[in-house]
């Protein structure tokens, strides 16, 4: 602590500082913040106070104020690796990835063996789709700490994304040695080895989309050219059978709400269900959903007491596999003449398959068979380009089903 200002004793300052630290340690962050702010009124240049209140703001989720506090701590005293590390975290949380990268590099200039810093730096590059730099950083992490499992897991994912199956298998299998019950890794291994599966595990979907929720729309729409919801809405409007407006809709796997927005013009009340709470938090900001359910599609369809005359699923069945359960469950809670609008990844075969990408693709013959056996009639089928993958487009199908009138 700095020298006490005139009019207050060093004992008083030290006692107040100890009380602030205790409140912080015990998780009473609001109290800690107020005590640190009071102390900063006496000692505005105290590096430790700015650092500690930065930690408090970060714990409270106030990342802009945390950024200001760590910036002040950095300017008040000499470069400190802990301060810079937290400053980089704040830059990342406030959306300034380039500043985060530059600050992590500052940390590494002082502490080149900082494994957590290399790991976080890799994450910045990974999110920016600079996979080569990300891989270099993850390899550096493992050189420093071979047991750093998250780095191994991310290397598996990046090699998988790059299409390097052999290396992806190596790192996925290393993860399974430590976590043999990891459903997500088992699923990805199955996709690469051709093992038969009929659905993606909930844990894989939840964890994947919770991790990538923040940059999801930027990646999917801007970088991969995804426009599936608008195209499906156009297909729906061009279809002769449907009504102009539906009373109660359910968006299955609604994600960040990209699919709900164009269909606001066609559905009076739209609910959404998704496994990822982070995705649902973004969907809530869209203003197109009345109720959002953090749940799996299958469980919600089986457990809900609601009935619906409109169902929506855009780019969702790529994680489902066998579609029979979903269409049977939707049929059970469907109102007369209900509609089901959805998309699938196209497959030139007889049924469906789990591709090496970790996504399911479906033949039109299989989807038609599911419709016929679960009480739905096919009103429309259109081919489309779903999204870019490396240098090619993924071909998909847009479907409009209507409930078979025989139900009612």
pLDDT digits (tens, 9 = 90+) for 23-49: 999 999 999 999 999 999 999 999 999
What pLDDT is recorded for position 46?
Answer: 92
Q: How far apart are CA 190 and CA 356, in angstroms?
A: 8
What pLDDT is recorded for position 406?
Answer: 45
What pLDDT is recorded for position 12?
Answer: 86
pTM score:
0.79
SS3 27: coil
Neighbouring C-beta atoms of residue 52, cutoff 10 Å: 23
What pLDDT is recorded for position 408?
Answer: 40
Q: Given a cut of 50, is residue 96 above it in pLDDT? A: yes
User: Could you tell me which residue, 151 or 388, shows the higher pLDDT?
Assistant: 151
SS3 90: helix
SS3 398: strand
What pLDDT is recorded for position 407?
Answer: 42
Instruction: Give the residue among 250, 271, 272, 257 at the shortest CA–CA distance from 221.
Output: 257
Query: Sign of torsion, CA 332 336 341 346?
Result: positive
Query: Sign of torsion, CA 292 295 299 305?
Result: negative
Q: What is the mean pLDDT of residues 155-180?
A: 95
As a whole number, the mean pLDDT across the chain is 92
Query: Sign of torsion, CA 94 100 106 112?
Result: positive
Q: What is the mean pLDDT of residues 155-161?
A: 94
H helices present in 194-263, as ranges: 202-212, 216-217, 228-238
Q: How far apart are CA 115 and CA 336, in angstroms?
A: 59
Under the banding of pLDDT at 50, 70 and 90, the label for residue 240 is low
Contact between residue 306 and residue 333 where contact means Cβ atoms under 8 Å apart = yes
Contact between residue 85 and residue 107 where contact means Cβ atoms under 8 Å apart = yes
Q: For strand 308-313 and strand 291-294, is the pairing parallel, antiparallel, or unpaired?
A: unpaired
Instruction: Give the residue among 65, 68, 105 at the shortest CA–CA distance from 85.
Output: 105
Query: Sign of torsion, CA 332 333 337 341?
Result: negative
What pLDDT is recorded for position 4?
Answer: 54
Domains of the chain: 10-193 (1.25.40.10), 216-407 (3.40.50.150)
Q: DSSP class of residue 313? A: E
Query: Sign of torsion, CA 290 295 298 301?
Result: negative
Under the banding of pLDDT at 50, 70 and 90, the label for residue 379 is very high
**Torsion of Cα atoms, 302 then 305 then 311 then 317, to 10°:** -20
Q: For the chain, what is the radius of gyration of the CA atoms?
A: 26
């Amino acid at each position: 602590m700095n020298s006490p200002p005139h009019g207050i004793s060093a004992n008083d300052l030290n006692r107040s500082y100890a009380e602030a630290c205790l409140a912080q340690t015990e998780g009473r962050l609001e109290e800690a913040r107020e005590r640190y702010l009071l102390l900063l009124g006496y000692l505005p240049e105290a590096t430790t106070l700015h650092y500690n209140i930065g930690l408090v703001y970060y714990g409270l989720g106030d990342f802009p104020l945390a950024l200001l506090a760590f910036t002040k701590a950095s300017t008040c005293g000499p470069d400190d690796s802990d301060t810079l590390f937290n400053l980089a975290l704040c830059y990342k949380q406030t959306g300034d990835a380039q500043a985060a990268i530059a600050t992590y590099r500052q940390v590494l200039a002082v502490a080149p063996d900082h494994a957590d810093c290399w790991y976080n730096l890799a994450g910045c590059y990974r999110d920016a789709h600079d996979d080569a730099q990300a891989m270099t950083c993850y390899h550096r992490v493992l050189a420093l700490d071979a047991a750093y499992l998250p780095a191994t897991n991310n290397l598996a994912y990046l090699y998988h994304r790059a299409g390097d199956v052999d290396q992806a298998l190596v790192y996925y299998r290393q993860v399974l040695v430590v976590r043999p019950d990891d459903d997500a890794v088992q699923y990805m291994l199955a996709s690469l080895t051709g093992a038969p599966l009929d659905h993606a595990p909930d844990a894989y979907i939840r964890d994947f989309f919770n991790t990538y929720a923040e940059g999801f729309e930027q990646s999917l729409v801007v970088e991969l050219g995804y426009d599936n919801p608008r195209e499906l809405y156009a297909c729906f409007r061009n279809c002769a059978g449907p009504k102009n407006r539906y009373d109660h809709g359910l968006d299955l796997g609604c994600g960040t709400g990209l699919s709900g927005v164009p269909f606001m013009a066609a559905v009076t009340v739209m609910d959404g269900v998704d496994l990822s709470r982070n995705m649902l938090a973004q969907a809530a900001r869209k203003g197109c959903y009345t109720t959002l359910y953090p749940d799996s599609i299958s469980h919600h369809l089986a457990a809900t007491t609601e009935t619906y005359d409109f169902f929506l699923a855009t780019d969702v069945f790529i994680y489902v596999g066998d579609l029979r359960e979903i269409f049977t469950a939707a049929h059970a809670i469907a109102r007369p003449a209900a509609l089901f609008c959805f998309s699938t990844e196209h497959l030139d075969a007889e049924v469906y398959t789990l591709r090496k990408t970790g996504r399911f693709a479906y033949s039109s013959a299989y989807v038609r068979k599911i419709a016929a056996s679960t009480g739905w009639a096919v009103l429309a089928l259109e081919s489309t380009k779903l999204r870019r993958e490396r240098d090619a487009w993924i071909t998909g199908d847009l479907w409009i089903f209507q409930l078979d009138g025989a139900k009612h």
